[in-house]
Structure 1
């Protein structure tokens, strides 16, 4: 009997995953036989030089892109061959997303954006979920901003709303794609502390793609990719050590 993803202590995993674009002589290999899992209650950073496959790996694990070969699971559910409608339903229920571009709905105020994941699922938040939203709003310092629309907020405030929205449904895992990329260094550190506190405070699982060694230094685990393969898997590292790893990978890839 195959060992289940959950029995491994994982929230998501891929096995022998390859991803190609194009065909024949024009084929580009984005991922090459990758097998890796994201551990429950852990903050994982995914790093690598430009073109290493880190964003592609996240997109396949999140069901935003399909595998050319191999398999992907969210919990114990294999998602490799799910139809778009099934994937959309699964993502709404079990995955949270935080992107560099915030992806807030400009016509909705903060509270409307926080309610959106529930309403996309065909219902409003129940009492317990409303209480959770209120606690997130207060904890993230947004209480006096709930009636504001995104254009009335700073970049840091918008990213805090995006994090609160990702946490509101208590997803199995949050995928964060360069969440500090559009922020200044001080605001970026604040956002990373919020993500870190979600791991410590509620056992949240986070997988973050980043090119920033300082951002990655907040993680419990750091996966390094190069040329579509996992080339290193480390526990927490300092920003300086991460920079050294990245420089060596970029030198090899150059």
Structure 2
């Protein structure tokens, strides 16, 4: 695989990334010299067997975890030396997150959760941003659920609120960790379609960790990890092609 060097079109990148846990003879290397860049408007799926380092890679790229060595950039900014305050502000302004466990605030209703990034940034949405949020809410079928708290919503509805929240500020990059893991197949397809639209129609970059070949087939780029290294960097593939390659990785372990 040809190494990709960071450029002005990259919204997130890592160079020679290493992540180790523990020390001495018990040290575990989760990532072993990974270099990659996520380009503007790209929808990338990150796949690999359990323990391959895919979630660790995403968390480091998003600034949620620190690298042992290497360089991590978000929006052209080297975040490896940023303090917690600087990192928090950068994430809030440039990054959206979608987690498998939703991570909604139980005390806020649906709309309050969607608008939370603005609240944390100490401002209200502009008229243009509010129109975008209204469109998101409509696309996600949430219009009649906005006054419900998370505990009153189904898993699929909670995930749609989480996605609306992640996209509300139009962040440059959205990191999604198994976003369809708790959803039925129909809701999962809707969520994947929305993420794909955010990429193709609005130029947002999506990095999605998934174990599901069908989910990965929605992405226009698929990164396969095994034992902390990228073993394949591919353009769009069909679900059966993805499944076959994943089986070949498992067979070599």
Alignment of 1:184-203 (within 5 A): 184-203=184-203
Query: C-alpha deviations, 1:137-194, integer Å up to 9, x for none?
Result: 1122111111111122221111111111111111010000000111122221121111
| CA shift for structure 1 position 117 | 0.4
Counterpart position of 1:246: 246
Q: CA RMSD in A?
A: 1.4
Counterpart position of 1:168: 168
| CA shift for structure 1 position 198 | 1.3
Partner SS state of residue 165, structure 1: helix
Distance in 2 (CA, whole Å) between partners of 1:72 and 1:110 is: 33
Structure 2 residue 140 is matched with structure 1 residue 149: no
TM-score by length of 2: 0.96
Contact 1:156 1:191 survives alignment (8 Å): no
Distance in 2 (CA, whole Å) between partners of 1:148 and 1:24 is: 51
Distance in 2 (CA, whole Å) between partners of 1:201 and 1:152 is: 32
Query: C-alpha deviations, 1:58-111, integer Å up to 9, x for none?
Result: 011000011101100012100011111111111000000001011111111111
Query: C-alpha deviations, 1:96-139, integer Å up to 9, x for none?
Result: 00010111111111110111001111222232222221121112
Runs of 4+ in 1 over 3 A off after TM superposition: 3-6
State the number of aligned residues.
Answer: 250
Alignment of 1:72-221 (within 5 A): 72-221=72-221
Residue segments in structure 1 that go unaligned for 5+ positions in a row: none
Contact 2:40 2:205 survives alignment (8 Å): yes
Contact 2:173 2:205 survives alignment (8 Å): yes
TM-score by length of 1: 0.95
Partner SS state of residue 112, structure 1: helix
Distance in 2 (CA, whole Å) between partners of 1:143 and 1:150 is: 15
Residue segments in structure 2 that go unaligned for 5+ positions in a row: none
Counterpart position of 1:39: 39
Structure 2 residue 37 is matched with structure 1 residue 30: no
| CA shift for structure 1 position 4 | 8.7
Contact 1:97 1:176 survives alignment (8 Å): yes
Query: C-alpha deviations, 1:178-223, integer Å up to 9, x for none?
Result: 0011112222112111111211221211000001111101000000
